[in-house]
Structure formats: C-alpha cells, structure tokens
Chain A
C-alpha cells in the first residue's frame, strides 16, 4: 500500500502523459509515440490504483478477470472493425464511457464509505453534487451515443425525427434535471437519484433524435466532449487528478471539434443541436427543381480528359466511403501518376461522418498523407488545375454557397471546384445532396457528369487510361 500523496503524484504523471498523447497528434510522425505515452499513462493509473487500495484478495482476481474480459472484447473489435465504420465505433465507445461513469456514480452513491465520501444517506454535500452531475452527464452521453450509433449504423433512419413541442419538452426536462439535482442534494433520497438517472437517459435520447445523418460530425464531437465532462465530474467525486485532467482535456477536445465542424457548415452550434435540418428543406429543394441540361459522359470520356491533364485534384466525400471506392480510387491515381500527372486530394472539413474521416480512409488505401490537403491549403489551386474529380461529395462543392444569399448553405466554405478547366462529377443521379438543394455545378459548361456507382466508375476509368 502506498501513501495517498505518492499515488496523487503518480496520477498527476499519468495526466501529463495523456497531455503528451494528444500533443503527439500534431503530426503523423510523432503521433505513434504519443499513443504509447497514452498507454503508459493508463498503465500507471491502473497500477497505482491497485497499490493504493492495497487489496489483493479474491476481489482483486475478479478485477483482473473483468479487465481481461473487457480488454479482449475491445481488442477484438479494434482489429476487426473496417475503417469505414469508424464513426459508429467511436459513437459506441462514447456510450460505454458514459455508462461506466453512471455505474461508478451509482456505486459511489450506494457505498460512499469505500470512496471516503461519508455514509449512505449522509454523503458530503460537495461530493454528492459532483457525483450527480457526473451521473447525469454520463447518462446523457450514453443514451445520446446509442442513438448516434444506431443512426450511423443505419439501424435507425438518419433523417431527423421532429414533433410538435419538442424544444419546450426538452427545455422542461433539462430544467427538471437541475431541480432534481438540487432536491437530491438537500434530501439525499435514493429515489431521487434513480429518477435523475432515468430523466437524464431520456433527455440524451430526445436531444439526438432530431439531428440528421450529415450533422453527425457535430453530434459525435459533442458527445466526445460530454464523455469528458462526465469523467471530470466523477474525477471531482473521487478526488482523482488523473481523471480531472483527462476529463478537461477530452471535454475541450470535443468542444473544439464541434466548433470546427459547425464552422465547416457555417451553422451555429445551436442550429445544429436544435436539429431538423434537411427535413424541412427537402421539400423546397424539390419544388424549384427545373429541368436543366446536363452533360453526361462515360468512363472513356473521363479517362480521355484526365490523360490530357497535367494536374488533377480529387474531391472525396461520404459517398466514396459508402461505395468503398477508396482503393479503386488510389489505383486510378497510381495510373495517372505513371503518366506524369500531378494528383492531389482536397478534403472539406465536414466531408464524411466524423472529423478527419476521409483522411483515415485515404490513409487506409495507402494514399500518402502529404498528398492530402485541407480546404484552405488547396482552394487556390483549383484555378490552376485541369481536372477536378468529385467523388461522393456534393454540397461542399456547391458554388451557390458563395453566390445565393437565399440558399440554406449560403456562407458555408466550399471547395472552388468550378474554377477548374473541367470538372468530373461521379454521382449516381442528379438528386440533391443532404442540404436538399440543387448543385449548380451539375449544369456548368465545363462539368461532365459520370452517372454510376463510384467504385465501378473509378475502376472503369482506370481500365481506359
């Protein structure tokens, strides 16, 4: 058994290692080392906990068994999961953090002596406040993440679920959570604790159902943030520095990612959270749909255009992930490179279903990361490029965002694809994208539509090159 002071120092060390783990992600070269720091921090935190409890009885064996059981499930998932399913995986993991926070809070509430927080029915006021906040945020994280998971997995429809009185209802529930925490702290009643948990689970569920599929990047980042705040709440209860530091890191990380995603769509955070986007706009998109001529071509035409180009910019989007076209795309690019054509990739901040989703898919397909550029880095290059190859992206290339103040996506940063000499647009049909609006790019003089499945089209182009 080691002293409380010594273990506190070790917890601080593991907190610092977690900071270094995130710091490592500033570049791909240092990132792998950063991950090792994170693992080391975790090992230290767990070891110190064992040493400080000094309990190596039968209970200890059960702890090890549960760690190994959970660990092998986790490892199995980590090795088997396809990269396209990362958003679902992360949402699923968030729900587990939330539920774990709830369970720890329940355990502390039922047996506060084990944590030096007082006796049942007479828990220290400060600890009880921290515990109930941690439990409530954990519960919201859990049920919210489960809904996000179901939507991403396609088990639940990605379209927003809206009903009358939704926002007032949510507001009433949120206020009642605060009231419940207040009552719980003044009465110490265990019934109130269970009601608080139930209501928190409910609000997590209600908050996420009105948010549509393409807003998932914001939702996942937001739930990431919540899972951090839940951990921090529990950290205060347990007076544990490692948990407090980690909770703060994760909480701010998720918040920053949500901010970046919202900015990528030029929408306020509240606009996304209140939800319903895409459901209302779909009808208006169909109303003003007029038949305009488009030029469409086949793989042969596309191959001809690219063969005569000297530089090509590829714009991947979520559709590429759905069609699993990333490997076929890389093969096409390899062929282009053999013909001395310069190829780069342009990634919009909200491409895909989670932050950085496209980058991971391209990395998986062996695309070197220094050929992949962010919007600000590459947007000026479109004017000098010969061909833009848009594969599975739509709204993020729509020039309407720059020209039409009436458009729902007006002001959203878009890739200046239309400035290219010619644009190849791989798409299955002319249907509008997520925002429910027509893409002006389809009807431009220099656009050639390639109506086909992204993967098949890419393979056919490669054959024709």
Chain B
C-alpha cells in the first residue's frame, strides 16, 4: 500500500517545528524584536498561494471573485514581505559593537 503524500507533508511539518524550536532558542535575546519582524516577513511566503489564486482566472475574465481575493492577498503579503525584510535590515544595521579606538 502506498503512503498518502499527506503523511510526508506532516513529517516535514513536525520536523520543521523541531528545527524551529532549536534555532529559535539559539537566537540571542537582544535580537528578539528583529526575530519577530523577520518571521513576519517569511510567513508572508503565503503570497505563493495568493499568486496561484490571482492567476486562476482565464484570459477572458482575469477578475472573478476568487482571483480578486487572490490579488488582495498578494497586495497584503507584499506589504509584509517588503516591510518586514526592510525594517529588519534597518534594525540590524543599528546593532554595533563597542568602538575599539575609544580611550
């Protein structure tokens, strides 16, 4: 009997939770705010689903109810992707070490 592909996805899911668990515990507490903004940005990979939804219309009707929701989701996810990565970049650029040349 073949194994349902769902089981494979479930395996990936469970293992990723464990990876996430160990990776996040090793994040230094001083970077917890950038951690939140970057997880925000990457969870917007949901844009993948939004793009499929947006392109679901055919050449006659680009806009049907389903694809309109897709397009709206694309815009929302894009705000998050650009906003999330850029604000993280901006924050991380501020973390500096002590200047050595101070007396």
Contact = CB atoms under 8 A, between A and B. Distances in A.
Nearest to A141: B43
A161 B100 CA distance: 51
A257 B35 contact: yes
Interface stretch (A19-27, A175-183, A395-403, A450-458): A19-27
Contacts of B5: 239
A357 interface: yes
**Majority SS of interface residues in chain B?**
helix
A26 B30 CA distance: 10
Contacts of B53: 103-104, 107-108, 111, 114-115
A368 B89 contact: no
Contacts of A28: 28, 30-31, 92, 95, 97
A100 B47 contact: yes
Interface string A88-113: 01100110110111011011101101
Q: Chain B interface: which size bin?
A: 35 or more
Nearest to B88: A35
B90 A38 contact: no
B69 to A, nearest CB: 4
Contacts of A251: 17, 20
A78 B82 CA distance: 8
A42 B36 CA distance: 17
A68 B71 CA distance: 12
Given A100-B77, A241-B12, A366-B96, A110 B39 contact: no
A463 interface: no
B36 A354 contact: yes
Interface in B57-74: 57, 59, 62, 64-67, 69-74
B39 A356 contact: no
B44 A97 contact: yes
A371 B36 CA distance: 23
Nearest to A26: B26
Contact of B49 (A21, A71, A104, A366): A104
A370 B98 contact: yes
Interface stretch (A50-58, A311-319, A414-422): A50-58
A14 interface: yes
Interface string A397-437: 00000000000000000000000000000000000000000
Contacts of A249: 16, 19-20, 23-24, 39, 42
Given A59-B57, A62-B62, A355 B29 contact: yes
Interface in A372-413: 372, 374
B27 interface: yes
Interface in B6-57: 6, 9, 12-14, 16-17, 19-21, 23-57
A371 B87 CA distance: 23
A18 interface: yes
A201 to B, nearest CB: 16
A210 interface: no
Interface in A57-84: 57-60, 62-63, 66-75, 77-79, 81, 83
Contacts of A63: 51, 54-55, 71, 74
B97 A252 contact: no
Given A97-B44, A246-B43, A363-B30, 7 more contacts: A49-B52, A55-B55, A60-B55, A97-B80, A107-B73, A347-B30, A360-B94
- Lowest 9 A-B CB distances belong to which pairs? A70-B78, A356-B32, A74-B83, A114-B56, A74-B82, A248-B16, A111-B66, A355-B32, A252-B20
